[in-house]
Structure 1
Amino acid sequence: MSARLAVDIGGTFTDLALEHGARRWTAKVLTTPAAPEQGVMDGVRAILARAALAPSDLAIVIHGTTLATNALIERKGAKTALVTTEGFRDVLALGNEARYDQYDLQIVLPEPLVPRRLRLTVAERLDNEGRVLRPLDEAGLRALVPMLRAEGVEAIAIGFLHAFVNPTHERRARAILAEALPEVPISLSSEVSPEMREWERFSTTVANAYVQPLMSRYLTRLESGLRDLGIRAPLFLMLSGGGLTTVETACRFPIRLVESGPAGGAIFAATVARECAIADVLSYDMGGTTAKVCLIDGFRPQTSRSFEVARVGRFKKGSGLPLRIPVIEMVEIGAGGGSIAHVDALGRIAVGPESAGADPGPACYGRGGDKPTVTDANLVLGRYDPDRFAGGRLALRPEAARAALVSHVGDRLGLDAAMAALGVVEMVDENMANAARVHAIESGKTLEGRTLIAFGGGGPVHAYRVAEKIGIRRVLVPSGAGVGSAIGFLRAPVAYEVVRSLYQRFATFDLAAVNALLAEMQAEAAAIVALGAGGQRTEEHRVGYMRYVGQGHEIAVPIPARTLTGADVAAIRAEYDRLYAAFYDRPVPGSDVEILSFAVTVATVPQPPAPAQAAPAPAPAAAARRQAVRDTVTGAVSDWAVHDRAALAPGATLEGPAIIAEDETSTLVGPGWRAEIDGFGYIRLSQG
């Protein structure tokens, strides 16, 4: 048993990657929204047959899904109740009292996942150091049970004030409620998000409870389906922070799966960057429903401890539900192949965020869809061969695409199908370019000098034009780009991060308390990782989140992964000053620094990248065929050379305009661009 299988469920396609020794097979099947595990089973059967392998040959199955994210966005989770400290019933509604748009008099704030009638309180109180000021009113808690039963509550979140310091009251409340309601899953804030800031902690805990029954049922069905196929290999889940975890942990903390698919894509891009020794990268992943961009520096994706889901204001920070979980930081916009184009009230072409998804899909799929999508526009522009799309397994219908574009865009603007398609593609490219610009600015970084690594079904199609718009002159398209996130799952370490709050100041640093906390956190993370590490060597990373006293936001400062000494404390303080000056130009002399929380990550050590084959001397490649394509810059139609990627050996070169076609995607080489196949078999595009 040496084969490794990865499965990524997206909004439109379910992607699979199977590796056995040095060989790799990939597949795309349409997602089955009503029962996502059915699409997984269809894909697993197909890819095993293609590889001529038996289910018993699999050593590991790794899975990522957008199911939790979609449940939050579409409000299709469990009926959830929140039990909180008396007097704090409305924390979820009040938030931090900030407005994401200061000048919008009709501002709409995100509705809490729990309605007010199900936000229940109980008498209890801890102080900020975890000392009991008021014992838990157990009789009052039991009195809530009849109401919870009558409401048909399917999940319960418990969030008490200062429980992140002392979880005793939350644990006792869980024991009482579990005895009365044994069938209802219960999430504790002291386990889901044990950090200060009540709104973020309660919101994350409620979101975890909200998706827990759905995810537990799904993962149970998935495990059962895999077993029925004869697969006995362990199943691991991709976490939003870039690591893998067990099904048991995923069922307890499903909120950590929220960005699991995009995280796999970032891991894929980081692995490719390390293989090719490219330190500064912009990862660009465009699928059927969304597009994601992520900054990668020093072969590591940018990470964060906070995330927003289900934003009310598109692209407006602060307009969504806050989640306090480890995530790979990226910008995600509704700009995928299935994103629907329309003309807005001001007469402008707009694309997304609504998507045609897998059912009915773009108009050209012939599955009942009648609205124009980005895929329809690309087809009308000549970028896809309708008879060879998806390796010929899905014949496209150009006439249906033209009719949809004319009906919903062209007639409104006086454009024919071709010019409407050009407008749609230019708009979606500009949306993605703008998202990349904003992400770089908000991160205090620049896009200049970076290489764009493009993958996903649509990434290589749009990459050269997006690169032109943001001033990037080098694009890399790895092999297997169409299922990049699934391949990224195969590269991810088994990892787990534990975060705890322990307020400290350097002037009064309690060395013993900090060492005790870090040791406890290391043991918790190591125990979870050991379940899936299989004896692999692990490494540990520690971080403290610090700020000058009185400030509102922290920066992450590395901490040595060992028992700290007095000398280490002084060195950590000096490192804080250095990092602060790097962010904000200068430190603040004479001000003490406070530490709000600590994070410990234990992960298996990644395998070193395989060396590239030496590419032979460059040799021009012969085109397999030609097809008429409309250039989105000039609007002119000309014959572009079409090359089959499988026929391009290392060292092959070609000049744009051209298309390099493969089963899961196509790479466009625009006018003025040059393509070369390197020693890994990757496509390297360069401009000028």
Structure 2
Amino acid sequence: METLINIDNGGTLTDICVWNGASVSFTKTLTTPHDLSECLFTGIEKASTNLYGEPDITRLLHQAHHIRYSTTQGTNALVERKGPMIGIVTTIPDLRERMEVTEAEAKLFAGLVDERIAVLDPDSDDLEFEAVQEVNRLTTLGAARVVIVAATVEQERHLRQILLRKFPRHLLGSVPLIYSWELAGDRKDERRAWSCVVNSFLHPTMERFLYGAERRLKEYKVANPLLVYRNDGASSRVAKSIALKTYSSGPRGGLEATAALAKVYGLGHALMMDIGGTTTDVGVVRDHEVAALNRGTIEGVDISYPMSDVASTGVGGSSVIAVVDGAITVGPQSVGAAPGPACFGFGGKQATITDVNLLLGVLDADTYLDGTFTLDPERSRAVITETIAEPLGIGLPDALIRMENAYFAALAGSFASWVQSGTTLVAFGGAGPMSAAGAARLAGVNRVLIPRTAAVFSAFGIAFSDIGKTYEVLVGEASADAAAAIYDDLLARAERDMFQEGYALADCETSWQLVVENPDDGEVRRIGYLRGDEVDYPGHAVSLELTATATLPHPVLEADVEPAARPAPSAGTRQVRSSADQIDDVPVHVLDDLEPGHTGQGPAIIEGPFFTARVLPGWSFRITASGDIFLTDAH
């Protein structure tokens, strides 16, 4: 089987996971926000060194059947509000009110749109003049992209004709216009509008990097295109991808990998906790299936597309820990990879949990990222003293314990509402294994699973992806003939798009469904559809949905068999602060030296490949047959 390269780009670190059909090889590199293609190719070079003993990017790229890429850049941009100002032109008088019903909607509207909205009368004799005037007004207010949301498809097509004529695309400085009915055939105006607003906000960030990466790949004469991993669990070419579907795509990879482990370990309710540099992402796997929403949500706002049920909060390994009004706060601001935590030595002047764990003794300055990066504890000490200890009037040891407790509490708050009886927390990401036990105990979870591939788990999950397309079109006239016409149109689109992906539709798996939505309560039913079926569901919105999938090879994980227990050998001890006035000698275990069946008690530290796991007092651990770490809380 040919090699599959899976890449998960985070705000602080970029993960590269290579699957050759029999085994997995992985590595990490610092994200380079000034040029994301730089960390991409640095990571591929490091991966080639792992495989061949020397760097050979060309060889690895030419052996790759597919290169699949996921990124949190869109998620991070939205969390930190780093993107273009958006304007809205609409023919719906109360659209703003309908988009700001909840506190979350009002907050996102203020951050992305604010006062940049204009309402047009579609029956006005001066519609052409008014449309031009309003677009000019919005751009004067700073709108870099404008969303057109009309009540009907016909109204929107009319506005498109006017605006395309008055603002031709070939002119320098033309403001990109996006039309809601083109992006999402959704009967609910506010959902369609939000989809366009968020997509417009994410688009520039994704476009700049992805096309830049494609250009660099062409320099290596790579025949297979770069594929973008999406939040629905499928992948597609850059040119065939929608920016909105890249949001939270990394967590979807983590969820797919969590589902794979849930099958292996028989976990009925697995809760994913992926702690990256900027965010913590939480999602659920029930009965080995990823929990998904018929209509996704982004920051509490409903959109038109289905997506996995993932909540992202601004708590990560590089989140800023500060003192505000006499209290310690965590995030949502992040120092990212540049300047990064103070201990990175790149000029960071704000404290993070990475600095805290270094001074607590959880992290070893010389073994961070498997010894490829040396941390500077003196910089962490200076920053925490200046920004936390002195403002609170406390000593450094007390400040460290309070910061750690605040971080545990912030993490627990991100997933506590998802916990139920029998929940197992699957913790991964760069900072996940270090903080999982502390956060789990506060949230009432007594079982934590840390995968051996925890440091690159989302990238590993991308290996379960196929190339796929999903189309949904509203059936305006509820008749068999109308649905059949849409069927023919979707079939033609799918044939064209899958051909551009490199596959004949006849060789793909296809699934046809009617999406029947109750306007009163939002309940959605999916019903199998054959061309010619009746589609009359009185009082419901009915759409026709087509999914086309080109199946790729996936990793096969063996079922877990619990081996006989025996004490885990330690590689030494590390002094770790457990309170403001106590430091303990804690055993350190190296995961690569442990075998299935090895067990131990907390406090302990387990050094895995590119991660450090912390076993708190009261917790025990065992190494599974697959080399994963299972923690159990006896409290």
TM-score, normalised relative to structure 1: 0.80
Q: Quickly say closer, same or farther: Cα 1:612–1:679, change in 2 above 3 A.
A: farther
- Cross-structure match for 1:281: 270
Code of the residue aligned with 1:286 in structure 2: it is I
Q: What's the RMSD between the two structures over aligned residues?
A: 3.6
Deviation at 1:306, TM superposition (A): 4.8
- Cross-structure match for 1:197: 188
Tell me whether 1:238 sits opposite 2:209 in the alignment. Answer: no
Paired residues of 2:80 and 2:333 also in contact (CA < 8 A)? no
- Cross-structure match for 2:152: 162
Q: Quickly say closer, same or farther: Cα 1:152–1:563, change in 2 above 3 A.
A: same
Q: Quickly say closer, same or farther: Cα 1:428–1:614, change in 2 above 3 A.
A: same
Q: Quickly say closer, same or farther: Cα 1:336–1:617, change in 2 above 3 A.
A: same
Tell me which moved more, 664-673 or 528-537: 528-537
Tell me whether 1:620 sits opposite 2:620 in the alignment. Answer: no
Residue 509 (structure 2) aligned to one of 538, 543, 546: 538
Q: How many Å separate the matches in 2 of 1:145 and 1:655?
A: 65
Residue 403 (structure 1) aligned to one of 354, 377, 382: 382
Q: How many Å separate the matches in 1 of 2:321 and 2:346?
A: 18
Q: How many Å separate the matches in 2 of 1:81 and 1:384?
A: 46
Q: Quickly say closer, same or farther: Cα 1:604–1:300, change in 2 above 3 A.
A: farther
- Cross-structure match for 1:329: 309
- Cross-structure match for 1:64: 70
Code of the residue aligned with 2:565 in structure 1: it is P
Tell me which moved more, 604-613 or 219-228: 604-613
Q: How many Å separate the matches in 2 of 1:146 and 1:436?
A: 44
Deviation at 1:376, TM superposition (A): 1.0
Paired residues of 1:12 and 1:31 also in contact (CA < 8 A)? yes
Runs of 5+ in structure 2 lacking a partner?
none
What percentage of aligned pairs have identical amino acids? 27
Note the 1:495-506 alignment, pairs <5 A. Answer: 495-502=468-475
Tell me whether 1:268 sits opposite 2:257 in the alignment. Answer: yes
Q: Quickly say closer, same or farther: Cα 1:46–1:513, change in 2 above 3 A.
A: same
SS at match of 1:158: strand
Deviations 1:128-184 (A, max 9, x none): xxxxxx9x9678768989999999986553332222x88754664576467564675
Runs of 5+ in structure 1 lacking a partner?
126-133, 312-316, 441-445, 574-591
Q: How many Å separate the matches in 1 of 2:509 and 2:330?
A: 44
Residue 597 (structure 2) aligned to one of 646, 651, 662: 651
- Cross-structure match for 1:341: 321
Q: How many Å separate the matches in 2 of 1:222 and 1:216?
A: 10
Q: Quickly say closer, same or farther: Cα 1:478–1:15, change in 2 above 3 A.
A: same
Deviation at 1:116, TM superposition (A): 5.6
Q: Quickly say closer, same or farther: Cα 1:248–1:273, change in 2 above 3 A.
A: same
Deviation at 1:220, TM superposition (A): 1.7
TM-score, normalised relative to structure 2: 0.87
Deviations 1:260-280 (A, max 9, x none): 222222222122223333231
Q: Quickly say closer, same or farther: Cα 1:231–1:84, change in 2 above 3 A.
A: same
Note the 1:170-209 alignment, pairs <5 A. Answer: 172=161, 176=165, 179=168, 181=170, 184=174, 185-209=176-200
- Cross-structure match for 1:50: 50
Code of the residue aligned with 1:378 in structure 2: it is N
Q: How many Å separate the matches in 2 of 1:480 and 1:170?
A: 51
SS at match of 2:208: helix
SS at match of 2:148: strand
- Cross-structure match for 2:402: 423
Deviations 1:278-330 (A, max 9, x none): 23110110111111111111222222255565x6xxxxx46xxx643332112
Deviations 1:468-522 (A, max 9, x none): 2222222111121111111122222323333333479xxxx74554565466556
Q: Quickly say closer, same or farther: Cα 1:643–1:174, change in 2 above 3 A.
A: farther
Paired residues of 2:463 and 2:555 also in contact (CA < 8 A)? no
- Cross-structure match for 1:672: 618
Paired residues of 1:653 and 1:675 also in contact (CA < 8 A)? yes
Q: How many Å separate the matches in 1 of 2:310 and 2:331?
A: 18
- Cross-structure match for 1:472: 445
SS at match of 1:266: helix
- Cross-structure match for 1:23: 23
Code of the residue aligned with 2:45 in structure 1: it is R
Q: How many Å separate the matches in 2 of 1:672 and 1:384?
A: 20
- Cross-structure match for 1:588: none
- Cross-structure match for 2:247: 258
Q: Quickly say closer, same or farther: Cα 1:124–1:68, change in 2 above 3 A.
A: farther
Q: Quickly say closer, same or farther: Cα 1:214–1:360, change in 2 above 3 A.
A: closer
Note the 1:31-42 alignment, pairs <5 A. Answer: 31-42=31-42
Q: How many Å separate the matches in 2 of 1:510 and 1:207?
A: 33
Tell me whether 1:384 sits opposite 2:383 in the alignment. Answer: no
Q: Quickly say closer, same or farther: Cα 1:344–1:2, change in 2 above 3 A.
A: same
Q: How many Å separate the matches in 1 of 2:489 and 2:608?
A: 50
Q: How many Å separate the matches in 2 of 1:635 and 1:298?
A: 45
Deviation at 1:664, TM superposition (A): 1.6
Deviation at 1:594, TM superposition (A): 2.7
Q: How many Å separate the matches in 2 of 1:76 and 1:204?
A: 18
Note the 1:87-236 alignment, pairs <5 A. Answer: 88=93, 91=95, 93-100=96-103, 110-111=109-110, 113=112, 119=118, 121=120, 123=122, 155-163=145-153, 168-169=157-158, 172=161, 176=165, 179=168, 181=170, 184=174, 185-236=176-227
Tell me which moved more, 19-28 or 516-525: 516-525
Paired residues of 1:494 and 1:533 also in contact (CA < 8 A)? no
Code of the residue aligned with 2:151 in structure 1: it is L
Q: How many Å separate the matches in 2 of 1:557 and 1:137?
A: 39
Q: How many Å separate the matches in 2 of 1:109 and 1:290?
A: 17
Residue 433 (structure 1) aligned to one of 377, 391, 412: 412
SS at match of 1:668: strand
- Cross-structure match for 1:367: 346
Q: Quickly say closer, same or farther: Cα 1:427–1:546, change in 2 above 3 A.
A: same
* Number of positions where the alignment pairs a residue of Structure 1 with one of Structure 2: 623
Q: How many Å separate the matches in 1 of 2:156 and 2:289?
A: 34
SS at match of 1:667: strand
Q: How many Å separate the matches in 1 of 2:291 and 2:514?
A: 15
Code of the residue aligned with 1:244 in structure 2: it is S
Q: How many Å separate the matches in 2 of 1:528 and 1:426?
A: 51
SS at match of 2:540: strand
- Cross-structure match for 1:129: none
- Cross-structure match for 2:291: 302
Residue 455 (structure 2) aligned to one of 463, 482, 486: 482
Q: How many Å separate the matches in 1 of 2:197 and 2:328?
A: 38
Tell me whether 1:559 sits opposite 2:558 in the alignment. Answer: no
Deviation at 1:358, TM superposition (A): 0.7
Note the 1:443-458 alignment, pairs <5 A. Answer: 446-458=419-431
Q: How many Å separate the matches in 2 of 1:174 and 1:243?
A: 34
Deviation at 1:362, TM superposition (A): 0.9
Deviation at 1:186, TM superposition (A): 4.1
Q: Quickly say closer, same or farther: Cα 1:144–1:685, change in 2 above 3 A.
A: closer
Paired residues of 1:286 and 1:459 also in contact (CA < 8 A)? yes
